[in-house]
Amino acid sequence: MNDYLDLDILWKVLVTGLAGGAGLVAVYALGLAGLSAAAGRRPGGHRLPGLLLAGTCFLIVAAGVGMGLYLMLSR
């Protein structure tokens, strides 16, 4: 657009920052909710769905952190 501000790069940085920042925190919170649901189950209830949700969310967060570290340190 002009010599000082590249809007194409700016929106890409904004979306990446939101996904990597707030997005990973939201997925981590969802994983904690899954653990809470598995721990506070009623008698005769199932723990497996909560544990699967928690494990999946924590795996996504770990992959996001690992990818972020890899991208920062590879340059």
Q: Give the model's pLDDT for residue 31.
A: 95
Can you state the angle between helices 48-73 and 24-39, rounded to 10 degrees?
150
Of residues 18 and 45, more confidently modeled: 18
Enter the pTM of the model: 0.77
Q: How many domains are contained in the chain?
A: 1
pLDDT digit string, tens, across residues 50-74: 999 999 999 999 999 999 899 889 9
Q: Confirm whether 30 is domain-assigned.
A: yes
First to last CA, the chain: 28
Q: What is the domain range of residue 48?
A: 7-73
* CB 57, CB 31: distance < 8 Å: yes
Q: Confirm whether 1 is domain-assigned.
A: no
